[in-house]
């Protein structure tokens, strides 16, 4: 292929411009064009290097282009990638066994995106409610938390408490009730005879990196058990080492009745999700009542299995625990009036900023200028959730960049 002429180059709009022109405007994208990734580092098309402090919303816990995962994916892609569940294939059984053994669940159902795993959990809970608990068909209620994030499908956004996620997309699917996050009393009062399940994130990610009071999750689990209500833990973001334990539930020795995994389950290469559950919950599904064309395909199963193996062998949960504690401790030492709060568990950290110093989105732009990438959530919170393969020296570098970005801020004009 010959090199493009100057005229061609000048007439070629940038990839970002094409995205703006032809894409739906459903993301607020930072002005950076990425072309390559390796470990915790990303490069733009001009060759500038950035530290990834966001990990694609925790989907890249293993780091970008992990050599073992890339090798497994390449090999499998050249051999057999998609078969559908109409037939057995080589890797699905071993993948599901590994996922169940690691998490203490009996069975697992493979899907692709996180939202699909949550939808699967909702379907399982509703059918369990009528088949096992004896709630009249169509009457089962699922309790969710204020400030939840479980994905973007119509049913899921219908029970969101965030207006922009929900408004304009109604009518909302009925059968959900919302409670304050971290409030055991409210849950105790809300559980009724038609309550099938409690669906929650053990720690909220998109909601602003919210860590509930100690003992809350264990209390929820106990209540659920006493009242024959399923505890469905959405660990799509908090699971697989992110919070310094294999599951965030492990911090309180809680074993949920149903569990959702996604994001980093695909090793940073593919969308792979699972709904895992206890035997009697999963057994409500029979042939024909749930499925997915791509769910559990040989490529996804092979990569998912390797992602779990790498997670264990490279001790990513332990790294997250130790390095997260160090990162948090160093962040807490920073004296700057823009910082309102620093909170987190493992490498699942949120930096809450005082709006008087600009929005969290503005801070992310300042961070980008220092060569680090992250994204705000809920206007005031900056996520600090790097790949779990980050080293201590790299955390020191991240701290320097955060310092420099803070120093570059000026208080916003007071118009009052």
Ligand X SMILES: *Cc1c(COP(=O)(O)O)cnc(C)c1O
Cβ 90 to ligand X shortest distance, Å: 25
Nearer Cβ to ligand X, position 272 or 338? 272
Q: Which residues are catalytic?
A: 149, 234, 263
Nearest 5°: phi and psi at 179?
-130, 160
42 strand-pairing partners? 37, 50
Cβ 329 to ligand X shortest distance, Å: 25
Cβ 113 to ligand X shortest distance, Å: 4
Nearer Cβ to ligand X, position 16 or 56? 56
Residue 407 burial (10 A CB sphere; 0-12, 13-18, 19+): exposed
Q: Do β-strands 273-277 and 339-345 pair in parallel, antiparallel, or remain unpaired? A: unpaired
Cβ 272 to ligand X shortest distance, Å: 10
* Dihedral of alpha carbons 147, 62, 15, 78, sign: negative
Nearer Cβ to ligand X, position 113 or 195? 113
In what helix (H) or strand (E) does residue 107 lie, and over which residues does it extend?
strand 107-111
* Beta carbons within 8 Å of 281's beta carbon, 6+ residues apart: 124, 125, 128, 230, 257, 258
CA distance 18 to 369: 23
Cβ 117 to ligand X shortest distance, Å: 8
Q: What angle do CA 48, 49, 53 make, to 5 degrees?
A: 140
Which residues of the shown chain bind ligand X in the complex (CB under 6 A)? 57, 113-115, 118, 149-151, 201, 205-206, 234, 236-237, 262-263
Nearer Cβ to ligand X, position 110 or 205? 205
Residue 47 burial (10 A CB sphere; 0-12, 13-18, 19+): exposed
**Residue 110 tokens, joined:** 């493979």
Q: CA dihedral in degrees (180, 186, 188, 191; nearest 10)?
A: -70
What's the gap between Cα 168 and its chain centre?
Answer: 25
Cβ 183 to ligand X shortest distance, Å: 19
3-state SS of 166-211 is HCCCCCCCCCEEEECCCCHHHHHHHCCCCEEEEEECCCECCCCCEC
**Residue 173 tokens, joined:** 């699917």
CA distance 7 to 165: 43
Q: Are 109 and 274 in contact (CB under 8 A)?
A: yes
Cβ 206 to ligand X shortest distance, Å: 6
Which position's Cβ is nearest ligand X? 114
């Amino acid at each position: 292929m010959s090199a493009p002429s100057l005229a061609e180059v000048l007439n070629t709009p940038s990839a970002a411009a094409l995205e703006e022109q032809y894409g739906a405007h459903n993301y607020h994208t930072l002005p950076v064009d990425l072309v390559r990734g390796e470990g915790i580092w990303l490069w733009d098309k001009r060759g500038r290097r950035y530290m990834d402090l966001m990990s694609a919303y925790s989907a890249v816990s293993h780091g970008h282009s992990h050599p073992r995962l890339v090798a497994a994916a390449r090999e499998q892609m050249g051999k057999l990638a998609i078969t559908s569940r109409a037939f057995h294939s080589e890797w699905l059984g071993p993948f599901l066994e590994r996922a169940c053994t690691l998490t203490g669940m009996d069975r697992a159902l493979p899907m692709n995106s996180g939202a699909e795993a949550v939808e699967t959990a909702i379907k399982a809970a509703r059918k369990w409610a009528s088949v096992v608990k004896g709630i009249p068909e169509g009457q089962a209620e699922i309790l969710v938390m204020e400030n939840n994030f479980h994905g973007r499908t119509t049913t899921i956004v219908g029970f969101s408490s965030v207006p922009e996620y929900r408004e304009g997309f109604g009518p909302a699917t009925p059968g959900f009730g919302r409670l304050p996050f971290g409030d055991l009393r409210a849950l105790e009062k809300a559980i009724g005879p038609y309550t099938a399940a409690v669906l929650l994130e053990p720690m909220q990610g998109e909601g602003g990196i919210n860590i509930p009071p100690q003992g809350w999750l264990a209390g929820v689990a106990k209540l659920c058990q006493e009242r024959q209500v399923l505890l469905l833990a959405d660990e799509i973001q908090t699971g697989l080492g992110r919070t310094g334990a294999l599951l965030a539930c492990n911090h309180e020795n809680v074993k949920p009745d149903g569990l959702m995994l996604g994001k980093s389950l695909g090793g940073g290469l593919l969308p792979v999700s699972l709904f895992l559950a206890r035997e009697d919950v999963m057994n409500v599904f029979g042939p024909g009542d749930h499925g997915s064309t791509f769910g559990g395909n040989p490529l996804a199963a092979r990569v998912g299995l390797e992602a779990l193996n790498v997670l264990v062998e490279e001790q990513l949960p332990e790294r997250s625990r130790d390095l997260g504690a160090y990162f948090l401790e160093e962040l807490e030492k920073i004296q700057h009036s823009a910082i309102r709060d620093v909170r987190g568990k493992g490498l699942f950290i949120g930096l809450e900023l005082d709006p008087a110093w600009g929005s969290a989105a503005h801070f992310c732009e300042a961070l980008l200028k220092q060569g680090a990438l992250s994204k705000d959530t809920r206007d005031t919170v900056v996520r600090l959730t790097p790949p779990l393969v980050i080293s201590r020296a790299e955390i020191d570098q991240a701290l320097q960049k955060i310092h420099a970005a803070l120093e570059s801020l000026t208080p916003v004009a007071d118009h009052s």
